[in-house]
A and B are shown apart, each in its own frame.
Chain A
Amino acid sequence: DGGITQSPKYLFRKEGQNVTLSCEQNLNHDAMYWYRQDPGQGLRLIYYSQIVNDFQKGDIAEGYSVSREKKESFPLTVTSAQKNPTAFYLCASSLRSGVEQYFGPGTRLTVT
């Protein structure tokens, strides 16, 4: 069935290491998004991509990087430059003409 997959569900890393979070969708959506959620907070946009090979920074892009080589995939790399990487990361996608964004199950990243 169609949907968005994010793996893994939980991820643990040591400080100073880069880590890549996976996001794949088989909904044939053009646009994809990455959000970060901290405890007791709403979601904040990190990066988004409306088309393959193109992406834009969101509100909190510092310390993160993305790529969009395929329509189905939008991986997020949390670099060592991100000062507070421990958070819940959610990926979403939408149709170009769509209203709502569909979300994946999220990845909980813990950096110690």
Chain B
Amino acid sequence: AQKITQTQPGMFVQEKEAVTLDCTYDTSDPSYGLFWYKQPSSGEMIFLIYQGSYDQQNATEGRYSLNFQKARKSANLVISASQLGDSAMYFCAMREGGGSQGNLIFGKGTKLSVKP
């Protein structure tokens, strides 16, 4: 079974609008972390936001926020006020276990295209 599922292969959003990228996860470990990375066409992976399984508040970083619904096992990324530079692949990832080190398990990604 897939541990990280991103059901949207591609998404379009109008510039300055908000967009939600979906991510569901599967784990039986009570302690885990959820990550979102952005991958522009150049290839590097850029860390965007992190949510710990015990965090009470949803994570926010500037225009990025993570809509964490633990019971539904979902960790959707919300990008507000989309910009042309937001066009990229977006990957959701999970790390299981309580330690700070561990392997990241990635979803297959969502390609976001921002229209002017």
Number of A-B residue pairs with CB-CB distance less than 8 Å in the complex they form: 58
CB contacts (< 8 Å) of A105 on chain B: these are 42-44
Binds B, one of A14-22, A71-79, A93-101: A93-101
Would you give the shortest CB distance from B106 to chain A, in whole angstroms? 3
Q: Is the CB of B35 closer than 8 A to any CB of chain A?
A: yes
A2 close to chain B: CB less than 8 A: no
Chain B residues near A (Cβ < 8 Å): 4, 33, 35, 37, 42-47, 50, 91, 93, 100-101, 103-104, 106-109
Residue of B nearest to A103 (CB): B45
Report the bound CA distance from A99 to B109 in whole Å: 21
- Chain B nearest Cβ from A60, distance in angstroms: 12
Q: Are A43 and B35 in contact (CB under 8 A)?
A: no
Residues of B within 8 A of A104 (CB): 44
A101 contacts B44, C-beta separation under 8 Å: no
Contact across chains for A99 and B33 when beta carbons are under 8 A apart: yes
* With A40-B108, A42-B107, A44-B106: A101-B100 Cβ-Cβ less than 8 Å: no
